[in-house]
Chain A
Amino acid sequence: MNTVADERVTEVWERLVREAQQSGYIVNTDDAFAKDLVRGLLENEARYGYRACPCRLASGVASEDQDIVCPCDYRDADLDEYGTCYCGLYVSPEVSRGERTGGSIPDRRPVGGVSARGEEMEQVSMKGLAFPVWRCRVCGYLCARPQPPLVCPVCKAGKERFERFM
């Protein structure tokens, strides 16, 4: 299936590379491989309405796939452990410099996705806080404000990816 125009793929890929750089992430330097994944993200956006991970089977129900909207909730843990996200779109500095090989890694997402993930994280209870504290599930960014931000200033994940932390 090749429904997404090449120019669009390049445009989005360039943006992801730039945004990654600004926030301390690295897009795989194998450009052809990364661009194919970006094409997959855009194909998924066209068929499901959101950029579901190209290497995981989306359910088509946005609320069930929230954890695998790119960047997924599992990216940072995989970068730490394996030096690459599950798809290989993002890699660690070591992998990008060729000091370590990334490759195909096991999927840490539980089968069934969000519904199988179990309870929300345990909330720290703190009396007397002027504001609730919100945590970005993707990158761990914390902020104290009435509502989470529309977009995470660090990793660009949407508001719906935040959970109440304190």
Chain B
Amino acid sequence: MLEPKHVEGIHNEHKVFLYALSTCGWCRKTKALLQELGIAYDYIDVDEQQGPDRELAKQEVLKWNPSLSFPTMVLDDKESVIGFSEARIRRIVSE
């Protein structure tokens, strides 16, 4: 069972889910910007998952991003944002 971590924020109009790696610079920038803008989100550091959870997490990422790269951000269960996209993250607050 995957156990995503939750980060509180004042903006929770949108569901923001992040698949990340704990060691990756662009993932770190994504988390930092979400936090700075006060956007609530859930995340999983896929590299920190072990055994079957790691495989499960990989399969989930593949559904949204066939290149299995990080960060992969899923907005409202319908849009995937691949890589660190400052512009797209900023738009979350205004939409």
A residues engaging B (CB < 8 A)?
Answer: 1, 33, 36-37, 39-41, 43-44, 54-58, 87-89, 103-107, 111
Closest B residue by C-beta to A111? B68
Chain B interface (Cβ within 8 Å of chain A)? 21-28, 46-48, 58, 62, 66-70, 82-85
Is A55's CB under 8 angstroms from B68's CB?
no
| Chain A contacts for B24, CB-based, 8 A | 40, 54-55, 87
Which residue on chain B has the smallest CB distance to residue A87?
A: B25
Shortest C-beta distance, B34 to chain A (Å), equals 15
- Can you show 27 pairs from A to B with CB atoms below 8 A apart? A33-B25, A40-B23, A40-B24, A41-B23, A43-B23, A44-B23, A54-B21, A54-B23, A55-B23, A56-B70, A57-B21, A57-B46, A57-B47, A57-B58, A57-B68, A88-B25, A88-B26, A103-B84, A104-B83, A104-B84, A104-B85, A106-B69, A106-B83, A107-B67, A107-B69, A111-B62, A111-B67
Instruction: Name A's interface SS.
Output: loop
CA distance A1 to B48 in the complex (A): 9
Chain B nearest CB from A73 CB (Å) reads 16
